[in-house]
Structure 1
Amino acid sequence: MRVLFIVQGEGRGHLTQALSLAQLLKSAGHEVTGALVSVTEQRNVPAFFRDAFDAPITPIFSPGLFYNPASNALQPTKTTLYAIRHIGGLWRSLQQVYDIIEQQRPDVVMNFFEMLGGLTYGLLRPSVPMVCVAHQYMAFHPNFQRPKGQWLYRLAFKLSTHITCFGAEEMLALSFDQQPDAPQQRVRIVPPLLRQEVTQLKPVSGDSLLAYVTQPGLRCEVEKAHQQHPAIPIDGFHAQATGPDQPVDETLTYHAIDGKRFLEFMARSRAVVTTAGFESVCEAAYLGKPVLMIPQPNHYEQACNAIDGQRAGVGVASDKFDLDQLLDYLPNYDASLSERFRAWHGRGYFLFLAALNRAITPRSRPTSGFFMTRMRQLLRS
């Protein structure tokens, strides 16, 4: 089977999931013909993906997201206005995606939460079936819990999620644990996609807390918590670190961002403090490390992830680096969760291959009215 990927290039999660699925498909004897990766004027295809993905990569322009440089809060208005100003470039990108699909004629297109994929299928209707993969499709599941209020961010999140899957055969919703499918929504529940680099690690018990510091304000909270609990060792990875290891004192050390080292530190940590990105939380759950999940400000998706992760028992949700909250939670963490999580993850091989086989089985494709059906569902929800 020949499979073409369309991947959202924003952040690390969807790219990592694409690498994981590529490894799975290759082990099953299938071919990944390439990846169309969304880029912006400020962001190219990340080096870690270029180095690890062994098929042709085609960068495709997409407007992207904007964050406040001081608080790292998502800025929906600026993001929307930028997309409107670049509508001509966006249309050319859709035509480019369509042409590549029709020229390559893979058996299946796998879309990792990229709007270009949904818009191409909703407006131009390529002849190749598409399957969408992301944790965000849990938002269509009746059991999915959401934060109260935040109606504007909720609407924007649901709109963007609907746009990514116009014309899809079905949506594969990555979940922390097993849930019933929602066939009326074309949603199938599947395990997380984790790279072999994670599954090959051997976790050990450690004393240090591991912190992934993406926000300037979060670094201040880390140092405040460190002052309150100076005896607890903390390793913090953040983008402003200029070297592999930068000791602040005997129990606080900062490290430059390095995916491989981050996983190695995670495997021997006591617990993890991070934003509520789905990928990193799943990696911690697989390695048996409880997580303090701190969603980025105004990031509705991460707020949902934190609530869902807390429900599944992988950690505790918080709006700040509250070390006391984490320390109180640790005695209640179910150490057997890692074993259950690994068993659920192990089912992914068969569930993803089954989804591909369903996609290429002749049946009625979503009609051109599927675009408007999705919009009506959004307005009713």
Structure 2
Amino acid sequence: MRVLFLVQGEGRGHLTQALALAQILQTAGHEVVGALVGVTENRNVPDFFSSAFAAPITPVFSPGLVYNAGTNALEPTKTTLRAIRSVRPFWRSLKQVRKAIETLRPDVVVNFYEMLGGLTYALMKPSVPMVCVAHQYLAFHPNFQRPRHQWLYEQAFKLNTRLTCFGAQELLALSFDKQADAPERRVRVVPPLLRREVTELKPVAGDFLLAYVTQPGLRSELEKAHLRNPKVPMHGFHSGIQEADHAVDETLTYHAIDGQRFLDYMARCKAVVTTAGFESVCEAAYLGKPALMIPQPNHFEQAGNALDGQRAGVGTAADRFDLDTLLDYLPQHDPQVSDRFRAWYGQGYFLFLAAMNRAVASRPTSPGGFFLSRMRQLLRS
């Protein structure tokens, strides 16, 4: 089976999920023929992805999200205006995606929440089946818990999400735990995708809190929380730090963003403080580390993740760096949550391969095309 990836390059979550699925497919003897990664003029393909992804990578322009630098709030209006101003380069990107599909001739396209994928299939209708993978598709599940008082942001989120999955054969909704599928909505619930580097770690009990600080305003919140709790040891990985380690005082140390070092610290920490991004919370759950999930303002997706994470028992939520909330929660955390999470994660290998096979089997094939397909399979076996 030949598989082509389309990956949203915003943040690290979808990129790490693509790395994890590539490992599954390669282990099963399939070929990932390449990845088209959505980038902006200010955001290139991250080094951690380009250094670990074995197949060719093609950057493709795709408008990104806009955040307020001071408050970390997602700004839907500015995000929409940026997208409108980018219509012409965006159209060129759609043609670039279609040409890649025609040239590489994959058996299936896997789209990791990149809008270019849904719009290419809506407007240009490639014949290759597409499967979409993201935790965001869980919002289409009938049992999804919706954050209150966020109707406008919910509509914007749903519109964006639907734009990513036009023409998809299935929507593989990554979930903290097992739930029933919703086939009438094309939704199949699957386990999280975690990199092998996470699953090979050996977690130990720690005495410090670990924070992942991606937005500039979060640093000030962390430091306010540190001043209120100066005796609590904390390590923070921050995008604004250039040196490897920067000790603020005896109990607070910043580190430059480094994916592997962050995972090493996570395996040794007591708990994790992070935004309510799906990937980091899943990594913490696998390693048995409770999480304080802090959704970014106006971010419906993260608000939903926080509710869902509390439901699944992987941590607790707050609207700011409230360490008292986390410290009060820790004695109540059920350590068996991690055992159940690992068992659910273990089913992913078979569920993802089954989804790829269903997509390929659904593709209309002429008698001659069927013969050629079978010959390719026999030659690769």
- Give the corresponding residue for 1:76: 76
Aligned-pair CA distance for 1:223: 2.2
Aligned partner letter, 2:284? A
CA distance in structure 2 between the aligned counterparts of 1:107 and 1:123, rounded to whole angstroms: 20
Q: Which residue of 1 aligns with 2:340?
A: 340
Residue-by-residue CA offset, 1:239-274 (whole Å, 9 max, x unaligned):
122211111111111111111110000000000000
Residues 6 and 37, structure 1, Cα contact 8 Å, conserved in 2: yes
**C-alpha spacing 1:200/1:212, structure 2 compared with 1 (3 Å):** same
User: CA shift at 1:115, angstroms?
Assistant: 0.4
2-structure distance, mates of 1:223, 1:348 = 39
Alpha-carbon distance, 1:95 to partner: 1.1
Paired with 1:132 and 1:98, the residues of 2 have a C-alpha distance of: 16
* 1:374 corresponding residue in structure 2: none
Superposed, 1:291-306 pairs within 5 Å as 291-306=291-306
Deviates more, 1:325-334 or 1:220-229: 220-229
- Map 1:84-103 to 2 at 5 A: 84-103=84-103
Residue 372 of structure 2 is matched in structure 1 by none
Unpaired runs of 5+ in structure 2? Answer: 366-381
Q: Which residue of 2 aligns with 1:186?
A: 186
Distance 2:129 2:141 in 1: 22
Cα separation, 2, equivalents of 1:10 and 1:288 = 27
Partners of 1:189 and 1:179 lie apart in 2 by 6
Q: Per the alignment, in what secondary structure is the counterpart of residue 25 of structure 2? A: helix
**1:22 and 2:22 aligned:** yes
Quote the Cα distance in structure 2 between the aligned partners of 1:29 and 1:364. 24
- Distance apart, 1:72 and its partner CA: 2.2
- Which ranges of 4 or more aligned residues in structure 1 deviate by more than 3 Å? 362-365
The within-5 A match list for 1:141-160 is 141-160=141-160
- Structure 2 counterparts to residues 323-338 of structure 1, below 5 A: 323-338=323-338
Indicate the SS of the match to 2:37.
strand
1:297 alignment partner AA: P
Deviation at 1:116, TM superposition (A): 0.2
Percent identity between the aligned chains? 73
CA drift at 1:149: 1.4
- Say how many residue pairs are matched: 365
The structural deviation recorded for 1:226 is: 2.1
C-alpha deviation, 1:177, in angstroms:
0.2
In 1, Cα distance between equivalents of 2:269 and 2:352: 31
SS in 2 for 1:167: coil
TM superposition shift of 1:89: 1.2
Partners of 1:101 and 1:272 lie apart in 2 by: 40
CA distance in 1, matches of 2:73, 2:108: 36
- Mapped to 1, the partners of 2:63 and 2:227 lie a distance apart of 41
The TM-score normalised by the length of structure 2 is 0.94
Aligned-residue offset at 1:228: 2.6
Q: Paired residue for 1:203?
A: 203
Note the alpha carbon deviations across 1:5-54, whole angstroms, 9 max, x for none: 00001110000100000011111100000000111111111111111101
- What's the counterpart of residue 264 of structure 1? 264
Q: Give me the TM-score of the superposition, normalised by structure 1.
A: 0.94
Deviation at 1:363, TM superposition (A): 6.1
Whole-angstrom CA distance in 1 between matches of 2:82 and 2:207? 45
Contact 1:102 1:127 in 2 (8 A): no
Which structure 2 residues correspond to residues 1-381 of structure 1 after superposition, within 5 A? 1-362=1-362
